[in-house]
Amino acid sequence: MGFMLPKEYKLKKDNDFKKVFKNGRYKQGDIIKIKFFKNNLTISRFAFLVGLKISKKATKRNNIRRILEESVRLKFKQIKSGFDIVVIVSPDILNKKYQEIEKDLINLFQKSNLLVEE
C-alpha cells in the first residue's frame, strides 16, 4: 500500500459530519454505504466509519480503514472535487478480499456520479 491521504482531505469536524448526515445523499452497495454532500470547497474530503460492530479489535478496524483509504487514494484523481464523503461499512466486509471492497466502493462512486468522466 502507498501513502495515506493528506490531512486536508480528511473530514474531521463534528459540524461537517452533521451536515453530511442531515443533508447528504445516500447510496448503498453490497458491503459499503456512502453519504455525500457538496462542500463548496475546491477539494473533496473523506471519512471512513468502521464501528465496533465490525470488530472489537482495533487492528481489524484500522486494517479495513486503511484498505478503504488506499482504494480512495488510487482513484483520487478521478473523484470529483467539492464533496464531503463519508464511507460506512457493514459487518460483511470482514469476509471480503481487497479487490471486492475496492470494486464495491468504486461502483458506489460511479452510481453517485462522483467520478469525473474520462
Separation of first and last alpha carbons in the chain: 25
> What's the pTM?
0.90
In a domain, 30, yes or no: yes
pLDDT of residue 99: 94
For the stretch 33-74, pLDDT in tens is 999 999 989 999 999 999 999 999 999 999 999 999 999 998
Range of the domain at 97: 7-111
pLDDT of residue 7: 86
In a domain, 21, yes or no: yes
In a domain, 1, yes or no: no
In a domain, 2, yes or no: no
- Residue 4: pLDDT band (50, 70, 90) is confident
Closest by CA position to 21, among listed 5, 7, 6, 34:
34
In a domain, 102, yes or no: yes
Is residue 1's pLDDT more than 80? no
In a domain, 85, yes or no: yes
Instruction: Give me the mean pLDDT over the 7-20 stretch.
Output: 91
Count of CB atoms situated within 10 Å of the CB of 118? 4
Q: Considering its fold, how many domains does the chain have in total?
A: 1
Is residue 2's pLDDT more than 70? no
CATH number of the domain to which 20 belongs: 3.30.230.10
CA angle (82 as vertex; 81, 85 as ends), nearest 5: 90
For the stretch 86-110, pLDDT in tens is 999 999 999 899 999 999 999 999 9
